[in-house]
Amino acid sequence: MAEKVLLVDDETDFLEALSQRMEARGMNVSTSSNAAEALKKVQEEGFDAIVLDLQMPGMDGIEALKMIKKENPEIQIILLTGHATVEKGIEAMKLGAMDFVEKPSDIETLTEKIKKAQAKKIVLVEKRTEEKLKDILGNKGW
Amino acid sequence: MDKDWEKLGQEGLAFFGRMSASISHEIKNALAVINENAGLVEDLALLAERGATLDPERLKRAAAAVQKQIRRGDGIIKNMNAFAHSVDEPVRQVNLDETAALMVALSQRFAARLMVRLETGPPSGVCVTVNPFLLENCIHLCLAFALESAGAQKALTVSVSGTDQGADIVFSGIAEPCGDFPTEMAERVAGAIDARLVFDKTKETLTIALPRKPAG
């Protein structure tokens, strides 16, 4: 199954080239050039992974990460940054980011991380479905 | 305010670090676009080897994107070089239009993060004799406050004009001041170049009033 990915970065030339390269590797890619638009897309459709730039005009990646994770804890977020400080990395991981990739990134490394993100999301969704089923069965007393 | 050189030195290093981090981030962004476009050309070449039709328009777009980022990178490095050379001499004659333009260019990333349109006013041709690095540090501290205080209009202009005593660098568009200014550090840095900081809430301006040359 093709990985459904949302790429979020304010550098439109970067978005255009990277999304085409990811599509050539069999992924289903959507793009947003700002965090507000990305949040709207996340509400409208589901994604396996979001590749999110850490520093963007207006709402930055950390703020967007918090909001996405609050509403959609199973979506896996990979943060992309021009300067990965240890502090920012730790903060992002604590907030639920799956991984951190420094720009310029290697497409094969990023692809591998996206595949892992999809697998992790499937496990989380299955676990949540199982919990829901157990809950229903327990409440009904069957 | 006394010229506490230890504190000025600490602030100067912190300023240099903030600017260097911002510049390196900008260069990495430019490299990332070049990297993806080079990768895309490689992908297209591999597909062409397997018999796919090569779209010349897509190749042209990739080349244009690379050239655009090279121009961007060149601009960033020129500014970085000018900034690095501002510590060459402790005091020299400085063209204030050039210094204002340099600081505005180096601060565009901070402005973009806050979604503020930051620009310079018309050229003045005014020069003063000053410590260039301390002047840039002073402008940076004023800009940091002014950008955070731009309010709903989200537009800030840095203009230079000549005065009887020397020159004014005026930051216009401070609609919603975020806290008190000048801070102790801003006063100290301004004091070290014999400048005065004047914040006018009514006019929504902050002014660095500079002497033509240092006192003494």
Residue A108 backbone phi and psi in degrees, to 5: -70, -40
What is the average pLDDT across B23-44? 95
Say what the pLDDT of residue A142 is.
57
Q: Is B76 on the interface with A (CB under 8 A)?
A: no
Read off the CATH number of the domain in which B62 is found.
Answer: 1.10.287
- Residue A135's pLDDT band, with cuts at 50, 70 and 90, is confident
From B85, B110, B129, the end of a domain falls on B85
Domain limits for position B57: 5-85
Question: Do residues B75 and B99 share a domain?
Answer: no
Question: Do residues B102 and B154 share a domain?
Answer: yes
Most A CBs within 10 Å, among B36, B58, B71, B154, to test the A interface: B36
Q: Let me know if residue B216 belongs to a domain.
A: no
Cβ–Cβ below 8 Å for B36 and A14: yes
Kind plus residue range of the DSSP H or E element containing B160: strand B155-162
B26, B43, B69 member nearest A24 (Cβ): B43
Tokens, residue A14? 């970067």
- Which residues 6+ apart lie within 8 Å of A33 measured at CB? A8, A9, A10, A12, A15
The string of pLDDT tens digits covering residues B48-106 is 999 999 999 999 999 999 999 999 999 999 999 999 999 999 999 999 999 999 999 99
Kind plus residue range of the DSSP H or E element containing A109: helix A107-140
Residue B205 backbone phi and psi in degrees, to 5: -125, 155
Q: Which long-range contacts (CB under 8 A, 24 or more apart) does A94-100 make?
A: A95/A62, A95/A65, A95/A66, A95/A69, A96/A65, A96/A69, A97/A65, A98/A49
Q: Let me know if residue B161 belongs to a domain.
A: yes
Q: Which residues of A touch B43 (CB under 8 A)?
A: 20-21, 24
A2: left (phi over 0), alpha (psi -120 to 50) or beta: beta
Say what the pLDDT of residue B140 is.
98
| Whether the Cβ atoms of residue A34 and residue A28 lie closer than 8 Å to each other | no
Say what the pLDDT of residue A13 is.
94
Question: Do residues B71 and B105 share a domain?
Answer: no
From B53, B85, B117, the end of a domain falls on B85
Which residue bears the tokens 């020069």?
B127
Of A51, A44, A13, A10, the closest CA to residue A29 belongs to: A51
Q: Which of A26-35, A87-96, B139-148 has the lowest mean pLDDT?
A: A87-96
Distance CA(B136)–CA(B143), nearest Å, equals 10
Question: Do residues B159 and B191 share a domain?
Answer: yes
Most A CBs within 10 Å, among B25, B28, B29, to test the A interface: B29
Q: Give me the helices (H) in B55-175, please.
A: 56-84, 96-106, 108-113, 132-148
Question: Do residues B148 and B115 share a domain?
Answer: yes
Most B CBs within 10 Å, among A63, A80, A103, to test the B interface: A103
Q: How many domains does chain B have?
A: 2
From B85, B112, B131, the end of a domain falls on B85
Say what the pLDDT of residue A139 is.
77
Question: Do residues B109 and B197 share a domain?
Answer: yes
Question: Do residues B116 and B191 share a domain?
Answer: yes
Question: Do residues B102 and B163 share a domain?
Answer: yes
Burial A77-96 (b: 16+ CB within 10 A, else e): bbbbbbbbeeebbeebeebe
What is the average pLDDT across B159-184? 95
Q: Let me know if residue B113 belongs to a domain.
A: yes
Distance from CA of B66 to the nearest CA of A (A): 9
Question: Do residues B81 and B154 share a domain?
Answer: no
| Whether the Cβ atoms of residue B178 and residue B149 lie closer than 8 Å to each other | yes
Q: Which residues of B touch A56 (CB under 8 A)?
A: 113
Question: Do residues B179 and B95 share a domain?
Answer: yes
In 10 A of CB B214, how many CB atoms?
Answer: 16
For residues B22 and A142, the model is more confident at B22
What is the average pLDDT across A30-43? 95
Q: Let me know if residue B105 belongs to a domain.
A: yes
Say what the pLDDT of residue B115 is.
93
User: A7 in helix, strand or coil?
Assistant: strand
Read off the CATH number of the domain in which B165 is found.
Answer: 3.30.565.10
The string of pLDDT tens digits covering residues A38-47 is 999 999 998 9
Question: Do residues B95 and B126 share a domain?
Answer: yes
Q: Which residues of A touch B59 (CB under 8 A)?
A: none
What is the average pLDDT across A84-97? 81
Q: Let me know if residue B52 belongs to a domain.
A: yes
Question: Do residues B65 and B109 share a domain?
Answer: no
A56, A57, A104 member nearest B32 (Cβ): A104
pLDDT at A87 over 90: no
Summary mean pLDDT of chain A: 90
pTM as predicted? 0.89
